[in-house]
Amino acid sequence: MGRFSSALVLAASVTQVLGLCSHGTFLHPRAEEGGSVEVKTFGYTGEIGPLFWSALEAPTNSICSTGTRQSPIDMTAGTFNMVPASDVEVNIPDFTEGTEFENLGTTVEVVAKPGGTLKIGGKTFELQQFHFHLPSEHLDNGTSRAMEMHMVWQSAEQEIAVIGTYIDVAREGETAPVVAAPVAAPVAEPAPANVTAPVLAEPAPAAKSRFRRKSRMQAREEAAAAPPATLAPTAAPANGPSTLLETVFSLVGQIATPGTVTKTPALVLSEFVDLWRAGSFQGYSGSLTTPPCSEGVHWLVSTQTLRIMPSTFERVRDVIGYNARYTQNAPGKQNVLQLGAERSLGLAAAAPPAAAPPAAEPAATSAAEPAATAPAAEPVAA
């Protein structure tokens, strides 16, 4: 691990955060169990989008527009260090009792209970939560992926690390994992005992309509009519859709409204761990991808990819919408917002001054108009 320890730069002191990337950590503690889910006040478009994050809570968020190690970035050669999986020790127990799955308004998030550990560079981190972005925030050598999962960890010294994993949409013909009826349904009426295990696979509709977006109201109504699901005791097929993600996302319609929460069935987290061990990581020192964009966060972006079914992607998209920050400059380079502002000012200064409007010419006398004559002199009195 010595080869990597010199490159490990983590946030030993970060300002209070309202963002989702650090939700559940020391930066932004989670509400007590049973408490309400806090809905975030920033967004990804318009006046609350990334261009205006600095102004949403100044000066706390000022680094969003001035920091030089901001995330996400384009993962191209020279912007990261390759980290072998053997240098990263990850242990996550299966969530045999299930856990909370909540809608923060800016993403959907799985609460990590009982948690897990990440050991790297002589440091130990505890798993706090994992959430999702659509499309991916990091670019894979210039290419945007369908989604990205962020698994957030913190150390006893209040340091932050994040494992990012790309999520793609499965190809036509790939089989969806089986998701069985729940043992203990998280809704008022349990599923009948004679209901056979539903399969998330659906007949593929025409290409033009497959990704047609439904309204959030439609998604909510369809989710209310669909039975909840739980994890079948089978692993995801090699290179096929993720059993774990299919199980979690089968519940996304139940939390379509920001601030809502539901309970998941048992989740087998070893699926993620096994996937990561089969590849390696692209590591760099960056920032939170949400306000206040605090720097010093260590990123490990997996070279492995998770997959979900097309119908699952549609369900998630109908709830999450768009929640990806724009790509930042390479680590150490000037902040793109600051650079843009400086260039705009430079262009304005270099522009020639506007010419004064020409003076108005005196109106010409019309030949058709008679010349004005002097008034006749009055006679002088004698």
Tell me the C-alpha distance between 19 and 39, whole Å.
10
Tell me the C-alpha distance between 227 and 382, whole Å.
121
pTM over 0.75: no
pLDDT the model gives residue 155: 92
Tell me the C-alpha distance between 250 and 228, whole Å.
7
Tell me the C-alpha distance between 139 and 4, whole Å.
23
pLDDT the model gives residue 173: 73
- Structural domains of the chain in order of their starting residue, each with its CATH number: 2-341 (3.10.200.10)
CA atoms within 13 A on the CB side of 185: 15
**Residue type for position 131:** H
**Residue type for position 346:** G
Displacement of CA 7 from its chain's centroid (Å): 25
What burial letters (b/e) apply to 344-367, b meaning 16+ CB within 10 Å? Answer: eeeeeeeeeeeeeeeeeeeeeeee
Q: Are 162 and 299 contacting, i.e. CB atoms less than 8 angstroms apart? A: yes
pLDDT the model gives residue 184: 40
pLDDT the model gives residue 207: 37
Q: From residue 372, how far is each of 254, 281, 375 by CA, in Å?
A: 89, 94, 9
Q: From residue 24, how far is each of 124, 146, 230, 285 by CA, in Å?
A: 17, 25, 25, 21
pLDDT the model gives residue 250: 98
Per-residue pLDDT of the chain (382 residues; tens, 9 = 90+): 443 333 343 333 333 334 456 555 554 555 566 667 888 889 999 999 999 999 999 999 999 999 999 999 999 999 999 999 999 999 999 999 999 999 999 999 999 988 899 999 999 999 999 999 999 999 999 999 999 999 999 999 989 999 999 999 998 777 767 665 444 434 333 333 333 333 333 333 433 434 444 555 555 555 445 544 433 333 444 579 999 999 999 999 999 999 999 999 999 999 999 999 999 999 999 999 999 999 999 999 999 999 999 999 999 999 999 999 999 999 999 999 999 999 888 776 777 776 667 766 666 554 444 544 545 545 444 4
Whether the bond into 353 is cis, omega within 30 of 0: no
pLDDT the model gives residue 32: 63
Element (H, E) at 247: helix 243-249
pLDDT the model gives residue 24: 57
